[in-house]
Chains A and B, each alone.
Chain A
Amino acid sequence: MFDTALFLLADGLTNGAVYAQVALSLVLVYSVTRVVNIAQGEYVMLGALTYADLLDGRMPATMAIVVTGLALWGVTSAWTARHNRRAMMRVLGGAALACLVLAGISAGVLAAPRSAFLAMPAAILLVASLGPIVYRVTVQPNPNASTVVLVIISVGVDMVLQGVGLLFWGSSTYSVAPLANGGISVGPLFLAWQSIAIIAIAIVIMAALYAFFEFTLYGKALQATAINRLGAQFCGIPVARAGALAFFLGAAFSATSGMLLAPLVTAHYDMGFVIGLKGFVGSAMGGLIDYPLALAGVFAVGVLESTSAYAWSAYREVLVFALLIPILLWRSHRLKPGQEA
């Protein structure tokens, strides 16, 4: 009995660590840009599939998505800057350069001997670069949009990304080799290396994010943008660039979690959405703005998921999403009337 509980706990923590990276992305993106990013989970899917492609020796289809996105961004921003020839050329040149650099890196990884340690950073970079593109094309042109409009935009982005995933990768599943096979036995418990890697990398990401926020001027500037956008502008902080950076980091974290998760579940085009939602349930605990509470939330989600999968497997997803109701009740109870959730 105790062994089972221990096993479920370890399994739940692994799940939680996967969702944690999505939750960090959601909180980061929301606090800086006010976008409740429904599409966050799709970066998990893109991360897993891009990584699978690179490991199998194919040029990732993500490259096509990035090139299309950069072209779209280049054309729209060149149009806004059409009265300023130099700014226009800078935008188009930047987009073209970004295409070349990313294609070069992918080609380089494919030419080199297969290695997870090359493929993973390349895949992260490729998927993460989609974040700022999505931000520049869909969010930045609507600086005064309400939260609801931004949510609807992100639903649209989610549908597009999932559709593109189906278009390029089809409905088949892709298996991905774990970083290392086997694991270690701790007393009665067997921990797979992959699970340990997931938790370790989640901890490293959190520590790095914390250090970035606390000890660098750019991290403070990102926090400042989240706290008071106008105040940040009055300090000369380019808030649009801060938003793009938040989308970049969010996409990077989510993609990482997809790559780490893929060996446990196999990668396929519609794996992302549900993971995004679970990250959302967890971060709802912190009102999408509080990092520690969001982390507590996702680990609660992870453990609830593993225990319910064991005890009432048919209701696994139901129980996880039902958790949103007590979380929201608890939050509304904590707030004074009139305060925003």
Chain B
Amino acid sequence: MTTLLSFNAVTVAYGEAVALSGASLTVDGGEFVTVIGPNGAGKTTLLNAAMGVLPAREGTITFDGQALRHEPPERRVAMGMVIVPERRELFGRLSVEDNLRLGAFTPRARSGNSGGLDRVYDLFPVLAERRRQAAGTLSGGEQQMVALGRALMAQPRILMLDEPSIGLAPRIVQQILAAIATLKASGLTAILVEQNAHLALGIADRAYVLEAGEIVLSGTASALRDDPRVTEVYLGGGNRYAETDPSDD
């Protein structure tokens, strides 16, 4: 498989504070990669740099063989890079269906998107019931479904998921996770950024561990699951993260 997205020694800083320091990673087409690490490690910064929300101070980000420089987020979406942001960034006043339809705003998404709406409603039947409701009135879990559905409407060539489990009840997390597993099975390329290492390593093919802005470990998900450095810090006692409410942001 060819490399779809790559970070080559990328550094991102907010003024003096370096949030990501010389990070390198690759995501191949058809691959499901996860980046795990504690709160404040720079995981969201990594995705924001990929989307062009934050500029890379050093290093290069390449998508599909093309080096990205000053392209604003909307251009990157048009190229097929789509994010499900941590804060969801929905249009609260607009209906669920309008939110989803706006996901397919780009010409690329509109051309190949007949039946895209039905696909999202198949994945999350509850959204079909609430299609006329304002997105802002939905529960947190349902809003996360709208955010994921909206991203799928954009026909992502790579989907970036920023902490999709955050702040949600375990039962809802399982539902979202099942949907993500379905997408993975259909061959979707994705990068999942997660604090919940147990959850992330359970679904990904490959993983990177990010600590204080640096990538300290990488390998296949199964190898990292058995790596003592990971089990000790992130999986301590096996299943701990899966049981706790991951809302402690």
Contact = CB atoms under 8 A, between A and B. Distances in A.
A140 to B, nearest CB: 11
A227 interface: yes
Contact of A234 (B77, B92, B98): B77
Contacts of B151: 234
Given A220-B94, A220-B98, A224-B94, A234 B89 contact: yes
B14 interface: no
A237 interface: yes
B91 A233 contact: no
Interface in B99-118: 101-103, 105-106, 109
B102 A220 contact: yes
B95 to A, nearest CB: 10
A314 interface: no
Nearest to B78: A236
A114 B218 CA distance: 76
A236 B82 CA distance: 9
Which of under 10, 10 to 19, 20 to 34, or 35 or more describes the interface residues of B? Answer: 20 to 34
Interface in A218-267: 220-221, 223-224, 227-228, 230-240
A180 interface: no
Q: Is the interface of A mostly helix, strand, loop or mixed?
A: helix
B74 A231 contact: no
Given A217-B101, A217-B102, A228 B150 contact: no
B53 interface: yes
A238 B92 contact: no
Contacts of B78: 236
A293 to B, nearest CB: 15
A249 B230 CA distance: 56
B83 interface: yes
A233 B94 contact: no
A235 B82 CA distance: 8
A223 B72 contact: no
B150 A230 contact: no
Interface in A276-295: none
B154 interface: yes
Nearest to B85: A234
A300 B170 CA distance: 53
B91 A224 contact: yes
A240 B83 CA distance: 20
A76 to B, nearest CB: 16
Contact of B77 (A217, A223, A236, A240): A236
A239 B102 contact: no
B94 A236 contact: no
Contacts of A221: 102, 105
A227 B94 contact: yes
Q: Which of A238, A239, A240 has the most CB of B within 10 A?
A: A238
Contact of A231 (B75, B89, B98): B89
Given A236-B77, A236-B109, A236-B154, A230 B89 contact: yes
Given A220-B101, A220-B102, A228 B74 contact: no
B91 A227 contact: yes
Contact of A237 (B51, B92, B94, B102): B102
B94 A235 contact: no
Contacts of A234: 51, 73, 77, 82-83, 85, 89, 151
The 7 closest A-B pairs by CB, nearest first: A231-B89, A236-B77, A236-B106, A233-B73, A227-B91, A224-B91, A233-B74
